[in-house]
Amino acid sequence: MTREPTNARRVKIALVQMICTESKQANVAQALGRIAEAAAHGAELVCLQELFHGLYPCQSEDHARFAEAEPIPGPTSDALAHAAARHGVVVVGSLFERRAPGVYHNTAGVWDADGTLCGLYRKMHIPDDPLYYEKFYFTPGDLGFRSFATRIGRIGVCVCWDQWFPEAARLTALRGAEILFYPTAIGWLPEEKETWGPSQHAAWETMMRSHAIANGVFVAAPNRVGSEGQLQFWGASFVADPYGDVLARAPHDSEAILVVECDLNVIDTARTHWPFLRDRRIDAYGDLTRRYIDA
pLDDT over 80 (residue 5): no
**The predicted structure's pLDDT at residue 8:** 74
* Inter-residue contact 28 to 79 (CB < 8 Å): yes
Q: How many CA atoms lie within 13 A of 43 on its CB side?
A: 26
Contacts of 241 (CB under 8 A, 6+ apart): 212, 218, 247, 262, 266, 270
Judge whether 162 and 123 are in contact, CB under 8 Å: yes
In 3D space, the residue among 222, 249, 247, 193 whose CA is nearest the CA of residue 10 turns out to be: 247
- Per-residue pLDDT tens digits for 188-239: 998 999 999 999 999 999 999 999 999 999 999 999 999 999 999 999 999 9
Residue 295 banded pLDDT, cuts 50, 70, 90:
confident
**Phi/psi zone of residue 269: left (φ > 0), alpha (ψ -120 to 50 degrees), beta?**
alpha
What is the helix (H) or strand (E) element at residue 111, kind and residue range? strand 103-111
Q: Coil, strand, or helix at residue 91?
A: strand
**pLDDT at residue 32 tops 90:** yes
C-alpha to C-alpha distance for 292 and 51, rounded to whole angstroms: 32
Tell me the CA distances in angstroms from 17 to 5, 51, 103, 154, one per residue in order: 31, 12, 28, 23
* % residues pLDDT > 90 (the chain): 96
| Active-site pick, 44, 50, 178, 205 | 50
Exactly one of 123, 158, 178, 228 is catalytic; which is it?
Answer: 123
**Exposed / middle / buried, residue 78 (Cβ in 10 Å: 0-12, 13-18, 19+):** middle
Query: Residue 108 has what pLDDT?
Result: 98
50 as an active site residue: the answer is yes
Give the confidence band of 6 by pLDDT, cuts at 50, 70, 90.
low
Strand partners, 255: none
Report the C-alpha gap between 167 and 18 in whole angstroms: 29
Lowest mean pLDDT among 1-10, 31-40, 147-156, 251-260: 1-10
Q: What percent of the chain has pLDDT over 70?
A: 98
The domain 10-280 is classified under which CATH number: 2.60.40.10, 3.60.110.10, 3.40.50.150, 3.40.50.2300?
Answer: 3.60.110.10
Q: What is the DSSP letter of 101?
A: T
State the pLDDT confidence band at 61, using cuts at 50, 70 and 90. very high
Entry pTM: 0.95
Catalytic-residue membership of 118: no
Decide: helix, strand or coil at residue 173.
helix
Report domain extents, the chain: 10-280
Spot the catalytic one: 20, 58, 160, 262.
160
- Per-residue pLDDT at 1 exceeds 60: no
Q: What is the mean pLDDT of residues 77-91?
A: 98
Task: Please give the Cα distance from 14 to 36 (Å, whole number).
Answer: 11
Q: Quote the pLDDT of residue 3.
A: 53
C-alpha to C-alpha distance for 293 and 291, rounded to whole angstroms: 7
Work out the pLDDT band at 36, boundaries 50, 70, 90. very high
Instruction: Judge whether 123 counts as a catalytic residue.
Output: yes
Q: How far apart (Å, rounded) are the C-alpha atoms in residues 96 and 76?
A: 10
Over residues 166-179, mean pLDDT: 98
Please give the pLDDT value at position 4. Answer: 53
Contact 161, 135 (CB under 8 A): no
The more confidently predicted of residues 145 and 192 is 145
